[in-house]
A and B are shown apart, each in its own frame.
Chain A
Amino acid sequence: MNQPSLLSSLHPATEPDTLDSTDRAKIDASTRLPVLLFFGSAIFWLLLGSFLGLLSAWKMTNPWLLDSMGWLTFGRLRPAHLNAVAYGWAAPAAIGVGLWLTARLCRIPLLHSKLLVSAAIIWNLGILVGICGILIGDGRSIEWLEFPAYSTPILFVSYALIGIWTIIMFRFRKPGHIYVSQWYLFAAFLWFPWLYATANILLVWQPVQGPAQGAINWWYAHNVLGLWFTPIGLASAYYFIPKVIGRPIHSYYLSILGFWSLALFYSWNGLHHLIGGPFPAWLISASVVASLMMFIPVITTAINHHMTMQGHFEALKWSPTLRFTVFGAVAYTVVSLQGSSMAIPSLNTITHFTDYTIGHAHLGLYAFFTMMMFGAMYYIVPRLVGWEWPSASMIRWHFWLSAVGIILMVSALTLGGLLQGLALYDVKSTFRSSLEFATPFRYLRGVSGFVLMAGQIIFAILFIQMLLKLGTPKKGPALLGKPDDATV
């Protein structure tokens, strides 16, 4: 395989059409090292981040827990949890899935594997420095940007390398149609470095003053979800649902409409976090309107995924990928419609500053995004290592523990949050009673964390078994056996 060097890839005079045509198995194999490196480190941070989350959840109900350890106080634990799962787990999982999908959709072997391997190492170094920084007390009090200033440039360098790689891959792609997943991926890979750099310039490098900080903060924090995690989750759904069941997407037109309307409306949404805050009314109103306009991309996506699945729901019995992906797709619809409704000021008055928002965040990042990534990994990893997953029952346990755990967590936080919000709103209730309403639900949330972690540990064991090739050699080029002899 005659791969161009990094310099010639970047040189404008290079003819892009120099690569030999290769089959799908070779393309998959070419992505092995960087993708497995991103997946492996992501799973490590998922376990650690969830453990930190579990500890902070228990501190909410048992404040004396580990109270002698300064570095594990709630104010450090909670941001460490958020950053470990968001930047340690979700982002590398997204990058891994993105790399694999990009290579497949460009129909060329992955170029510049070394560039990506260095990006993976630098990224993990950045996360390690950042998490330690938060725990020793260097964290910044900016939500979603708590990493200390000395760790963010490391992350940015890694990220920029991946952005450059995406452009190179796009340039060398085989001619033909650009599938909708690739639009999402390409956009996400270019949007995130811009968001990250802009937020860091305005909040850290040359901080803006006063309330403007809040506006920038939430512009960034919401766009991380909407312009980075959401597009990659949807790219994954738009590829795996049709691919697994062997049927093209129901309405390709709607999928394109969904992409461009997301691109148009999403970046306005962030300010709905600041309803009631000291901001010009037009700024908040524009954000509320844009949040409701999100109904367009969300409903087009929901209709599309549902209609593609129509008549193929029995496939959920035999495909692990589909089970996780469809769970994620349904959660996407629910979380997005809930998010839009939370931007309506009269509802926001009740739910703001309560556990309801925390429930919404977990519905988005776990029930939608994390489940989507699990589904993608169940499809990708066997094709990289050439082995079947060692145990079907462990996959089922992983699915049911994750599904039950996250439904329990979101229900507990949503219900507890509503009671808490109504009590806060009621002039006759004391502040203390609003907290007492939330307490039993917070215990339930702590329990749900254990259930989720149990599922994650099963997945980590499965992943390690795959790396050590403890399964059965994979039969055939793509199919993991015939669906008709599958057991449920």
Chain B
Amino acid sequence: MTAGMILLVVGLVFVTGTGLVGFYWAAKSGQFSNLSDGAASIFDSEEPEGTPTDRFPSPKRS
């Protein structure tokens, strides 16, 4: 087995492994429960739900 092939097998196992471990960890640590809180996690008191955060600049310069 050449060095390249060994690297490939290690890479393949690593990538598949991180995927599986990641999925298992996510399920265990509650990432898949309480989904409505998850969806709202990008909002906070400073930029709450219901507040738009982007618009075209106003035509007049102040």
Contact = CB atoms under 8 A, between A and B. Distances in A.
Contacts of A247: 49-50
A146 interface: no
Contacts of B24: none
Contacts of A177: 31, 34, 37-38, 41
Interface stretch (A6-14, A62-70, A475-483): A475-483
A483 B49 contact: no
Contacts, number: 132
Q: Contact size class for B?
A: 35 or more
Contacts of A334: none
A2 to B, nearest CB: 23
A431 interface: no
A198 B15 CA distance: 12
Given A23-B46, A177-B31, A198-B8, A243 B59 contact: no
B39 to A, nearest CB: 4
B2 A483 contact: no
Contacts of B37: 177
A184 to B, nearest CB: 13
B17 to A, nearest CB: 12
A263 B19 contact: yes
Interface in B8-23: 8, 11, 14-15, 18-19, 23
Contacts of B34: 177
Interface in A290-341: 315, 318-322
Interface residues of A, number: 60
A252 B38 contact: yes
B43 A248 contact: yes
Contacts of A487: 56, 58-59
A240 to B, nearest CB: 8
A191 B40 contact: no
Interface in B22-62: 23, 26, 31-32, 34-44, 46-59, 61-62
Contacts of B48: 246
Given A202-B8, A395-B56, A483-B55, A260 B50 contact: no
Contacts of A253: 35
B6 to A, nearest CB: 10
Contacts of A176: 41
B56 A392 contact: yes
B57 A481 contact: yes
B42 A242 contact: yes
A75 interface: no
Contacts of B61: 472
Interface string A230-270: 00000000010011111111001101100010010000000
A472 B11 contact: no
A483 B49 CA distance: 15
Contacts of B41: 176-177, 179
13 contacts: A177-B38, A190-B15, A202-B4, A206-B2, A246-B52, A249-B39, A319-B54, A320-B55, A392-B56, A472-B57, A478-B46, A479-B55, A481-B58
Interface of A: 23-24, 105, 176-180, 190-191, 194, 197-198, 201-202, 205-206, 239, 242-249, 252-253, 255-256, 260, 263, 315, 318-322, 378-379, 388-392, 395-396, 471-472, 475, 477-483, 485-487
Interface of B: 2, 4-5, 7-8, 11, 14-15, 18-19, 23, 26, 31-32, 34-44, 46-59, 61-62
Given A246-B53, A256-B35, A486-B58, 18 more contacts: A180-B38, A194-B14, A198-B8, A202-B4, A246-B51, A248-B36, A249-B39, A315-B52, A322-B54, A389-B57, A395-B56, A395-B57, A477-B46, A479-B54, A480-B55, A483-B52, A483-B55, A486-B56
